[in-house]
Amino acid sequence: MAIPQFNKRYTMGAIMKITLKDGSVKEYESQMAIIDIAKDISEGLARIACAAELDGKVVDLRTVVEKDSQLSILTFEDEGGKAAYRHTTSHVLAEAVKHLYPGAKLAIGPSIDTGFYYDFDVEPFDRAALDSLEKEMKKIIKEGAEIKRFTLPREEAIRFMEERQEPYKVELIKDLPEGEEISFYSQGEFTDLCAGPHLMSTKGIKAIKLISSSGAYWRGSEKNKMLTRVYGTAYTKNADLEAYLEHLEDIKRRDHNKLGREMELFTTVDVIGQGLPLLMPNGVKIIQTLQRWIEDEEDKRGYVRTKTPLMAKSDLYKISGHWDHYKEGMFVLGDEEKDKEVYALRPMTCPFQYYVYKSAQRSYRDLPLRYGETSTLFRNEDSGEMHGLTRVRQFTISEGHLIVRPDQMDEEFKGCLDLARYCLSTLGLEEDVTYRLSKWDPNNKEKYIGTEEIWEETQGRIRNVLTELNIPFTEEEGEAAFYGPKVDIQAKNVYGKEDTMITIQWDAIIAEQFDMYYIDQNGEKKRPYIIHRTSLGCYERTLAWLIEKYAGQFPTWLCPEQVRVLPISEKYHEYAKKVEAELKDNGVRCSVDERAEKIGYKIREARLDRVPYLLVVGQKEEEEGKVSVRSRYLGDEGQKELSVFVNDICKEIRTKEIRKIEVEQQA
């Protein structure tokens, strides 16, 4: 089949005005392909152009402009340009696969934030196969084939791909709406179904790397066939590619799923179940430290603690609305059709704490009541969502519910934000988060309870609070809880996946369902408002976050082992134990390495274990009551009086100081 060609210019009568990004205007007497407009602006710009934004839509440089328009030429520095560049590279990968594996069937190959991927129905690729594909891609790029776009009618497009024995492409075409333009891109002998945009030729691609290969279900459904997905990336400069590859190596070093196991912080076991991690002693010590800190801080801020059951009858969740709106995310114990009583493991603590509130009549003078609980919760997450400690089925959370009068709501909400920001700041994470006002979806009202007026009012009040506190935030429809809007404090893991770390929810509705009230100054019953909040969020997810943030080198106050005492020989074991006892008496977590190994070996081992302070002791230290200090922060800090070191480290732990690492790790 001959591939239709396009003409670069079409004659027309009137002057066509093109308004550029900087506001300047170019005038043309004929229709013009965008690539020619780019050349008219600057030959240099045309050489680096990847795509264009025409009247708000990202399009090919080969697109012909036929009327007055707003035009911005996109380079690799622009998101749209980068996407076109990398999407073109995914087509080069597909061509390389067809060259080396002619029987492979093509699926989809989009650009993504970090590069691109392409799915193939073919046997999995190992690293050697990826290297061969990469070599073939470079040959294709060197040939520099012109990339051409053409369209076909629906039935002809189907036949076109059937002739090429590409069943996945045929399925995609059949799923397109009637009347949809069906476009293809060809480069040399290779043609692919694609909406574009693409570069003008393959020779514009400069630096590529195939990163990995994995399995992926066709269209993301477990009911479909498992395909082979190849991930890659592309840049315009080798230096940028090398920097990205170094970044990937850093990600591997920080990945909590790998590092947490190496450091013996947690593990998982198939026979126990997916999403049910085992926290090991070192991991437990960190979470215990965090938990005690949070509970003490909440106590200072007027919280009272509760301890409530891990399960309840379905009756409780029917009152709260969770049975109707969240049942699929719960672990249900029993059969509603057969059993007199059906229970469920709790996915949240709020309804339990409501009954603590309802256990006595409350006056307006009693409010606000701030309930806090270190809660173990259970949520039936999808198996495909499970990942290390960030997405699990059983987890522990710093949960709290504030029962307040409506007139107290704004100030109490600010207090919850202040607590969350204090926690983030103390952990050194405040620069790593973003704030999101999560709103209801007015086009999907059956998902929520309450009236439109209540939702608009509560969302507006949260917006005002965030603005008053000068907290930058975004807004997202459809992310609210079913009973109220919330502030979600978001963070990304090392792979760029965003998760919610801390949530503060505004609830003006649930009190009605639970018949919660207080007696006001006039002796009348009034409904309270409720704030659902976490101060730190899920402890497991926070631990994962901290592992990746600090690459396992936690601030001293969080380290499972804060000091290791290293006697240079057996003769100084007694003094080493005396040093250890003094530290432990002052609450410092420490140990003595009594192994019959050389001191250099002991130091290297302690460094690998990420212990922040090493105390070397020998004859001089014992005689003078001193310790030779080595730290991850300054390296060799010299000799110090034992009492001075104890005072210094106790202050560092007490103030939760995050010391700066100023030296390369030393042996």
Is the per-residue pLDDT at 470 higher than 90? yes
Tens of pLDDT, residues 637-646: 999 999 999 9
The residues near 246 (Cβ < 8 Å, ≥ 6 apart) are: none
For residue 417, pLDDT over 60 is answered with: yes
CB 143 within 8 A of CB 188: yes
Q: Quick check: pTM over 0.85?
A: no
Residue 9 has pLDDT above 90, yes or no: no
Whether the pLDDT of residue 2 is over 50: the answer is no
For residue 147 the two structure tokens come to 């990339």
- The contacts of residue 546 (CB under 8 Å, 6+ apart) are 286, 427, 429, 554, 558
Q: Is the dihedral of CA 6, 9, 14, 20 positive or negative?
A: positive
- The answer to whether residue 621 scores a pLDDT higher than 50 is yes
Helices (H), 339-390: 350-357
Torsion of CA 262, 263, 268, 274, to 10 degrees: -90
d(CA 224, CA 206): 36
What's residue 75's pLDDT? 95
pLDDT at 665: 61
Classify strands 613-617 and 563-567 as parallel, antiparallel or unpaired. Answer: parallel
Average pLDDT over residues 584-608: 95
* Contact status, residue 31 vs residue 58, Cβ threshold 8 Å: no
Of 298, 278, 299, 274, nearest to 287 (Cα)?
A: 278
> From CA 332, how far away is CA 326, in angstroms rounded?
11
What is the phi/psi pair of residue 405, to 5°? -75, 150
394-404 and 311-313 as β-strands: parallel, antiparallel, unpaired? Answer: unpaired
Peptide bond into 472 cis (omega under 30): no
The pLDDT, as a whole number, for residue 232 is 97
The pLDDT value recorded for residue 177 is: 86
CB atoms within 10 A of CB 393: 19
Q: Are strands 518-519 and 64-65 parallel, antiparallel or unpaired?
A: unpaired
List, for residues 82-141, the tens digit of each pLDDT value.
999 999 999 999 999 999 999 999 999 999 989 999 999 999 999 999 999 999 999 999
**Closest alpha carbon to 540 in 421, 381, 430:** 381
pLDDT of 386 > 80? The answer is no
99 is in an annotated binding site: no
Q: Is there a contact between 149 and 6 (Cβ–Cβ < 8 Å)? A: yes
pLDDT tops 90 at residue 483: no
Lowest mean pLDDT among 166-175, 285-294, 379-388: 379-388
| 17: its two tokens | 């005005």
Total length of the chain: 667
Residue with tokens 């005005």: 17
pLDDT, mean of residues 629-654: 96
Cis bond before residue 197 (omega within 30° of 0): yes
Q: Give the residue among 235, 192, 206, 183 at the shortest CA–CA distance from 63.
A: 183
Decide: helix, strand or coil at residue 576: helix
Is residue 664 over pLDDT 80? no
Which residue is associated with the tokens 């609305």?
321
In this prediction, residue 450 carries a pLDDT of 86
373: tokens are 């609980």
How confident is residue 6, by pLDDT bands cut at 50, 70 and 90? Answer: very low
pLDDT band at 53 (very low <50, low <70, confident <90, very high): very high
Q: Is the pLDDT of residue 305 over 70?
A: yes
- Of 12-26, 42-56, 83-97, 420-434, which range is least confident? 12-26
Spatial contact of 223 and 112, defined as CB atoms under 8 Å apart: no
CB neighbours (10 Å) of residue 324?
A: 11
Bond from prior residue into 368 cis (ω within 30 degrees of 0): yes
Mean pLDDT, all residues of the chain:
93
Q: Which of 552, 512, 507, 559 is nearest to 533 (CA)?
A: 507
Written as six digits, the tokens of 26 are 């170019």
pLDDT tens, position by position, 602-613: 999 999 999 999
- Beta-strand pair 9-20/69-75: parallel
Q: Residue 243: left if φ>0, alpha if ψ -120 to 50, beta else—which one?
A: alpha
Contact 172, 193 (CB under 8 A): yes
Is there a contact between 543 and 257 (Cβ–Cβ < 8 Å)? no
Q: Is 322 annotated as a binding residue?
A: no
The span from the CA of 71 to the CA of 53, in Å, is 6
Tell me the pLDDT tens digit for each residue of 543-561: 999 999 999 999 999 999 9
Predicted pLDDT at 116: 96
The mean per-residue pLDDT over the stretch 40-50 comes to 93
Query: Residue 112's pLDDT is what?
Result: 94
SS3 266: strand
For 478, phi then psi, to 5°, come to 85, 5
DSSP state of 484: B
Q: CA-CA distance, 101 to 647, in Å (whole number)?
A: 67
User: What integer pLDDT is reported at residue 4 of this predicted model?
Assistant: 39
Residue 634: per-residue pLDDT: 94
Written as six digits, the tokens of 115 are: 């590069």
CA–CA dist 57, 113 (Å, integer)? 19
Q: Which parts of 554-641 fold into alpha helices (H)?
A: 573-585, 599-608, 619-624
* The pLDDT of residue 13: 52
pLDDT of 58:
94
Q: What is the DSSP string of 51-112?
A: EEEETTEEE-TTPEE-SSEEEEEEETTSHHHHHHHHHHHHHHHHHHHHHH-TT-EE----EE
pLDDT digits (tens, 9 = 90+) for 146-167: 999 999 999 999 999 999 999 9
* 203-217, 441-455, 560-574: range with lowest mean pLDDT: 441-455
Q: What is the pLDDT of residue 321?
A: 83
Q: Of 621, 569, 559, whose CA–CA distance to 591 is shortest?
A: 559
Q: Is 532 annotated as a binding residue?
A: yes
Check pLDDT > 50 for residue 196.
Answer: yes
Of 545, 309, 543, 539, which Cα lies nearest the Cα of 429? Answer: 545
User: What is the average pLDDT across 422-447?
Assistant: 93
Compute CA distances 151 → 2, 162, 542, whole Å.
12, 16, 51
Per-residue pLDDT at 29 exceeds 60: yes
Maximum distance among all Cα pairs of the chain, rounded to whole angstroms: 100
Q: Rounded CA gap, 147 and 160, in Å? A: 18
Q: Which residue has the higher pLDDT, 8 or 97?
A: 97
The domains of the chain, with CATH numbers, are: 34-75 (3.10.20.30), 80-245 (3.30.980.10), 270-310+346-549 (3.30.930.10), 556-655 (3.40.50.800)
